[in-house]
Structure 1
Amino acid sequence: MTEQSIGALALKIVDPWKWWQTALKDPSKIGSKDLPVHDSDPQQGYFRVRYSKDKPFEPVAIWKEDGAWLAYRAGREVKAEDIWTSCCRHPISHAAYEAAIDGKGWPDDDATVAAQVKPPEPGIGDNSAPVDEADVLKDQIENALKGIDAYKKITDDATASKAQSLRNRLNELSGDADKKRDELKRPHLEAGKVIDKHWMPLVKSAKEGANAVKAAMDAYETEKLRKRREEERKAEEARIAAEAAARAAHPEGEVLEAPKVETQPAPPPEPVGQIRATYGKAASVSVKIVVDQVTDWPALATYMSNHPECQDLLRKLAQRALDAGRTAIPGITTTEAAKVR
């Protein structure tokens, strides 16, 4: 048997589509000894490829004809050797290839994403009037948001894949809108920085001076309050001492007639003081109870533990401790949760 006839027989025995068919059934084998991948050594089959994560997949067909490799990407002829290593890990069925060529998208596409990222047909919109980019993005975002209902509950990997596509699209639209917002806002921010650089030192220095004066006034009024409270305390002690002396001055058992005291209305609350100035407005002086120092942190934490803000803070601190690898945290239960990034 000649070498040429042996080669022809080998082609009949070895199915040239075998690599692709096996990869289609079990993509995890791609790159293994069962389905090796080598540069410039393409295999027949149908695949898809994209050269950027924010670009849609394009269909690829590779086959050998009359001893020469042929390859088409989205209907455009390319070199099989050049595109092989980019597309080989994404095998697709022939039906999926045909549907993509016909512009029907991919089976695992989210419908909204497929509709929005489909490339425009040549010539469409070339002579259209200028449009507001915000209006275009608004329409795209509103249409994308309509697709959220399909993923309120995800029950299989295929749906999760479509949901991720919609999430990526919404994040992409959010990024586009934020970039445009930043682009339009930046000149104003730069102008604002120039103004702030000129005026804020004046604002801060004057405010810091006013705050220093206020701190001195607070200290003065607090000292006045302390002296007043001390005088009140001494007056109360003197009253108690006088009553005790009066009781001691009478024989034991003598009944004293209670003094007649005219009923007086309750004294009005202590008026709020004012510091009047010869320039500008007066300052009011009020008395409030303030924390001086914490003497028992556990007791304070227990007392405040029913406050929603305290609970929220404790929950965040507990999560931070878990994220740092600590597990023995009292007062909580934990569970495993998958977080998509």
Structure 2
Amino acid sequence: MRQVPVAIWGDAGALWCKVEGSVYGGDRVALAWQRINLPITEEVYRAVAERGEPWPDIDPTVADQIRAGIGGNQPPQDEAEILREQIDAARAGIAEYASIGDDEACNRAQSLRARLLELGSKADKIREREKRPHFDAAKAVDARFMPLVKDAKDGADRLRRVMEAYMTAKAKREAEERRIAEQARLAEEAKRRASEPGPVQPPAPELPPPAARASAPIRGAYGRAASIKPVIVITDVTDWPALLAYYSDHPEVRALVRRLADRAVAAGEAVPGVATEEQRKIA
């Protein structure tokens, strides 16, 4: 929003105001007074209104861009290129505010920040405008084909889940059969050793049951085969404190807990294990 210098004074028992070179009286004075949001000195008024100098609390780059207007006197160009030049010029001024030592510098920094936000908003609106026809066309294509994609995938996933349940049950059954066969073998071996003459031999060390053979791919009469891969999955959490303690040093867990703590502190909760301070955030 452009700031306009306004002068208000009294003369012959009446109030007068001067706005952009024009002098008004009566109700226009009251209207101008209502719209004033920042009092300034006469020196600042004369510098800005009469000598055309920039406001003392506006960043020089912002003042130059506002004075020139978008594109200045240049012939029409690509909007993105114009905005790129202005944003680059504004960003170059950020270095002037590596640290802020007084209110005037803080006000200038805010003017530069406001300009960058304004330019970013312009770029975003142009992006939305130029993207809209392509976005609408893409939505039309998706509306035709995505239901087909989703229905086919849903059907395939339903079959996969049933097949996985069957193959899991089959693997458990085969593992139990191997365990029983190994127990029978060990019992027969112990019985044989007991019947042999001579000193009793110590039992042979127990060996792990034979490993399961790799499952062959599932091949139907049509299409590609499906590979089978054994995986270990969690079916339930039996000790939450132990699980959280195990992952307490994991960076992703810490980041998540920090976000939860930030949210709780912002809501006014007293969160243990954190240090807090009151800061000022700029909206």
TM-score range, shorter chain: 0.7 to 0.9
- Unaligned stretches of 5+ residues in structure 2: 205-209
Closer/same/farther in 2, CA of residues 217 and 184 from structure 1, 3 Å limit: same
CA–CA separation in structure 2 for the residues paired with 1:125 and 1:283: 61
Is 1:112 the counterpart of 2:61? The answer is yes
Alignment partner of 2:229 out of 286, 291, 300: 286
Give 1:1-341 correspondences, 5 Å limit: 55-66=1-12, 69-79=15-25, 80-101=28-49, 102-118=51-67, 120=69, 129-249=75-195, 253-254=199-200, 270-271=213-214, 273-327=216-270, 329-341=271-283
Task: Determine the structure 2 residue equivalent to 1:14.
Answer: none
1:74 positional shift: 2.4
| 1:273 and 1:286 in contact (8 A); partners too | no
Q: After TM superposition, give the deviation of residue 191 of structure 1 in Å.
A: 1.9
**2:207 maps to which residue?**
none
Amino acid at match of 1:331: G
Distance (whole Å) between structure 2 residues aligned to residue 320 and residue 125 of structure 1:
44
Letter in 2 for 1:86: Q
Question: 1:95 is aligned with what amino acid?
Answer: E
User: Which whole-Å CA distance do the structure 1 matches of 2:272 and 2:198 have between them?
Assistant: 63
Question: Which has the greater radius of gyration?
Answer: 1
Partners of 2:272 and 2:32 in 1: CA distance: 56
- TM-score, reference length from structure 1: 0.72
1:208 partner letter: D
Report the secondary structure of 2:227's partner residue.
strand
Q: Secondary structure at the match of 1:273?
A: coil
Identity of aligned residues (%): 44
Residues 229, 334 of structure 1: alpha-carbon distance in 2 compared, 3 angstrom cutoff: farther
CA offset at residue 69 of structure 1?
4.2
Structure 1: gaps of 5 or more residues: 1-54, 259-266
Query: In proportion to residue count, which structure has more helix?
Result: 2
**1:116-166 CA deviation, whole Å, 9 max, x = no partner?**
22265xxx9898532111111000100111111122222332222222221
| Cα drift, residue 77 of structure 1 | 3.3
- Indicate if the aligned counterparts of 2:80 and 2:123 stay in contact, CA closer than 8 A: yes
Q: Kindly provide the amino acid, as one letter, of the partner of residue 45 in structure 2.
A: Y
**Equivalent position SS for 2:85:** helix
**What's the offset of the Cα at 1:89?**
4.5
Distance 2:72 2:282 in 1: 40
